[in-house]
Amino acid sequence: QVQLQESGPGLVKPSETLSLTCTASGGSISSYHWGWIRQSPGKGLEWIGFIYHSEPPNYNPSLKGRAIMSVDTSKNQLSLRLNSVTAADTAVYYCARRGLTFEAFDIWGPGTRVTVSA
Amino acid sequence: EIVMTQSPAILSVSPGERATLSCRASQSISSDLAWYQQKPGQAPRLLIYGASTRPIGMPARFRGSGSGTEYTLTINSLQPEDFAVYYCQQYNKWPLSFGQGTKVEIK
């Protein structure tokens, strides 16, 4: 059973770039689609986007082009970069595996909390 | 964007009783609906997809139903570990969207 673990700085300054990594173990990252989701008290759960190793990512338009996702199959890792962050980007960020036949998430990482503050 | 509305916000139920949670979509989502359970400090856990399909190993007391814009999660004979927050999520149209959650608490 694949396991996921997010990592990255817990504190980011406003206007800077948030960078997170998700490492998969127990399975190949090339075999599935993957997603990033965030959760904040104000907005609840918010889908950030999907990525598959051989296809362009798909993003939530609400992020206004600030998100960039990528896959490194040699390291079995996903990454998320979010540019020009504000306090509204403060959240717990999750990576998750998308189902094979449905666009919901059947395996989640434990999440990593990111605070945007000066 | 499809807006998902869950009700009630808080549901007080005694252990062993049944809980009925509702999720309404702002337009038809053709059963492209998932339900998740989330406990404090944990990630959501997938309970149901396709409105009524349980992943392998999910207890049968979790039952999903509905169609069109109206969906229901029924939890039969609530166990102590079932007290948590439950979210619905539609995947019929991008962007994917989640409901605001229903907290099932001990009565």
Flag whether residue B44 sits within 8 Å of chain A, measured between CB atoms: yes
For B86, name the nearest residue in chain A, comparing CA atoms only: A45
CA distance B43 to chain A (A): 5
Within 8 A of B34 by CB-CB distance, chain A residues are 102, 104-105
Quick one: DSSP state of residue B77?
A: S
Cα separation, B6 vs B37, whole angstroms: 14
Partner-chain residue, chosen from A58, A60, A111, that has the shortest CB–CB distance to B43: A111
Give the model confidence (pLDDT) of A53-76 as tens digits: 888 999 999 999 999 999 999 999
Partner-chain residue, chosen from A45, A60, A102, that has the shortest CB–CB distance to B91: A102
| Predicted pLDDT of residue B67 | 97
Q: In Å, what is the CA distance from B27 to each residue of A60, B48, B70, B97?
A: 19, 20, 9, 12
Q: In Å, what is the CA distance from B58 to each residue of A30, A73, B64, B71?
A: 26, 31, 12, 19
| Predicted pLDDT of residue B15 | 96
What stretches in chain A show pLDDT beneath 70?
Answer: none
Give the model confidence (pLDDT) of B32-87 as tens digits: 999 999 999 999 999 999 999 999 999 999 999 999 999 999 999 999 999 999 99
For A36, name the nearest residue in chain B, comparing CA atoms only: B96
Q: Which residues, listed in sequence order, are joined to residue A52 by a DSSP beta bridge?
A: A55
Quickly list H helices, chain A.
Answer: none
Q: In Å, what is the CA distance from A109 to each residue of A51, A74, A75, A95, B82?
A: 16, 20, 17, 6, 20
- Map tokens 């990593």 to a residue: A112
| Predicted pLDDT of residue A53 | 83
Closest CA to A91 of A42, A30, A25: A42
Cα separation, B99 vs B73, whole angstroms: 13
Q: Is residue B41 classed as helix, strand or coil in its secondary structure?
A: coil
The answer to whether B42 contacts A106, with C-beta atoms less than 8 Å apart, is no
CA distance B4 to chain A (A): 11
Query: HSE of B61 in the Cβ direction (CA atoms, 13 Å)?
Result: 11
| Predicted pLDDT of residue B28 | 98
Element housing B75 (H / E): strand B70-75
Residue A99: burial class (beta carbons within 10 Å; 0-12, 13-18, 19+): buried
Q: Which residues, listed in sequence order, are joined to residue A94 by a DSSP beta bridge?
A: A37
| Predicted pLDDT of residue A71 | 94
